[in-house]
Structures are given as structure tokens and as C-alpha cells.
Structure 1
């Protein structure tokens, strides 16, 4: 039976479509339009109590039991990789290394770039300190990746869920005044390698279709950043 993917075209959403396309798993795409407030609907909150995408329901879970729902993109990637035995090493050292970089993205790269993006693009008025703080941290994190990729094609050994988790966030670099090609050439080469993969191209095409004909109006701002978040 298929996997239900509750999705919107954000970096965290792209992580899961990339994995599912890479793995060739059957899935039902269930768009959650976060600009219209779909993330607050009771039926979605039963699956994702943090009112954030992505989330999945696996109707054929690893243990063979009842369907299992999972929220948090990192947890979803880890679960799916364990389910099919791909994109994460089975031996303890490689497995732990992939988890380290997955957690690094979840705790650092994603949140810091998300805050930078918010204060640079969406804050109702400029807050110079916040912009400088998060842009500086974004550059530091890109520097960490640059050193890591100095002598390797991927973050950990072969292509893994660590790369799938980090890539969509680094795609946002242009809006954050990061010239990856000039400043972080190893990250740039890694971006090109992953971005050329057929599954990644398809994942972004799916996102473009889902997100078409949406705009950030006042109601969308309230749904994304306003009182409904409380």
C-alpha cells in the first residue's frame, strides 16, 4: 500500500519528495496549502500536532502493523531509509555519521536559514540586528559544509539522507546574499551534482505544480506568521 505524503513546496517538503522519487516508492501526494491555513485543520493536526509539513502516513509500516503517522522531516527521512535499507549505512559508524549530519541540518542549517529568510524577506519592518545575526550564522554553516566537502563528493560516503536534508535548504542561498559559486565552491559543486539527479529534478517539478497560482497576501501572512500560530 502507498504512503500518504502531506506536503507543501518548502525545503522541508522537498526533502521527502526527493527521497520518495529516489527510492521509487509509491505515494499519494496530499497538498497542505500552508498559505491558506490547511496546516490548522483538525484532520491534519491528528497526523502532525506541530501544525507543520511534511508528514506521512505509511500504510505498510516496517513492523507490519497498523498504519503509522510520522511528522518532522528528519524523522521521516530516517524512518523511510530504515524501511527500505537505502540511503543510510547499516554499519554503526556510517549510520551514526549520517545521523550527525541529519541532526546538524535539523538543528542548525534549516532553522538558521529559515530565520534569515524571514527577517530578510518577510518581516514587516527591517530589523538590522536580526538580519545580520542570522545571515552571519548562515555563512558560518555554509563554511562548515565547505570544509566537509573539501575532499568528498557527499556529506557522508555515498549519497544519503544527509544530502537530501541539506540540499533543499542550500537552494535558498540566492535570496540570502550567499554567492555559493564564488564563496563556497565545494558546496556549489555538491549542489550541481545533486541538482542534476533525475529524482531531484522531478521533486522540484512537483513542487512547482503544487505551488502554482499562490501568492503571499495579507491572509497568507496571517496563516504563516500571525496569530493562528499560537
Structure 2
């Protein structure tokens, strides 16, 4: 069995990415694990100014540390009227990394006077495959919508309760299957899957 490392300690992401990659996991007999399987690996400083740069930093560092293929993503909410912010600062918009409630409350307060037709936004994701050989592949995905005036829904995480998608529901009101079919991460990781398949089959061929 080939182990594929997801460069995250976020249990929500590990579960979501496992669902997105489910077909590939079954086809190739992959064991997909998060960084909780490697507590000795330090967190990577996300010093990039784009989602692709941050995801590449994480994937390359984990592939180098483990000697295994690694996948990382960096994603966030880009609000048009804020010039694309919170962007790469989405997880720490309110000042403390991962405080979803504070991030939501601050963003909604900042957009309080913005009319409904000016609240366009999108979730953006860069997904990166890094191999121990140094090979890197980057794919991106977007999930467009608009920012709601108050949170709705109990599914998902992060900004899901305030991004309203085309059918009028927020991302947090979608089932996991519905969300994965249209989400920024789903789009990016489905685009990345053929590269994962090719790289792992090639590695298996070289090892025989």
C-alpha cells in the first residue's frame, strides 16, 4: 500500500479531501493520512503571498521530510469589494489562526454597509502535489458566490456558513457530497488526481 500524506493537521480537511480522493484511493490502494501521523514534523510557516505559494511550501516540506508523495492545499475566501481579502489571511483574519467565529464576525462587520449586489466573493483553492524527487504540480479551483448577512447552516467549517452559492443556500447548508461536487477544493483536487495517479503508477513501475 502506498501512503499519501496530506500536509494538514486540520481533521475537517483530512476528512473532506479523503472523500474527494475516494475513487483514486480505491483504485491505487492508497493509505491517506494527515500530519497527525507525523507529529515530529514541525508546522510549515506559510510565508507566501498567494495560495499556490503557501500550498507549495507545505507540500514540498512534507514530501522532503517523509520521503513520500505529499499533497497540500491553501485556500480561503476572496471578497471582491475587499480587493480579494481575506485571501491568504482567511484563517487568521481576526488575528488568531483558526478562530472561525471571530473571523466570521469581523468579516460580516466589515461588510455591514455593503449592499447585496456588491457582496460577490469566491472560495479559492490551490492544490499541490509534491514528490520526493522534487516534482511539483499545482492546480486551482474556485467556488463563486456572495457573502450572506448572517451565518446559516451547520455543515462544513471556516467561512462555509456565509458563502451563498448559486441555488441560494450557503456552503454550510449543502451536504458533503453536494459541496464536494462544486467546491473550490473539489475542483482543484479532481484536477490534481490524474497527476497523482500518473506519478504513483510511474513510481510503482520504477520499483518493480
Instruction: Write 1 or 2 for the structure with the bigger share of strand.
Output: 2
**Relative contact order (alpha carbons < 8 A, sep ≥ 6): 1 or 2 greater?**
1
TM-score norm. by structure 1 comes to: 0.32
Instruction: Write 1 or 2 for the structure with the bigger share of helix.
Output: 1
TM-score norm. by structure 2 comes to: 0.34
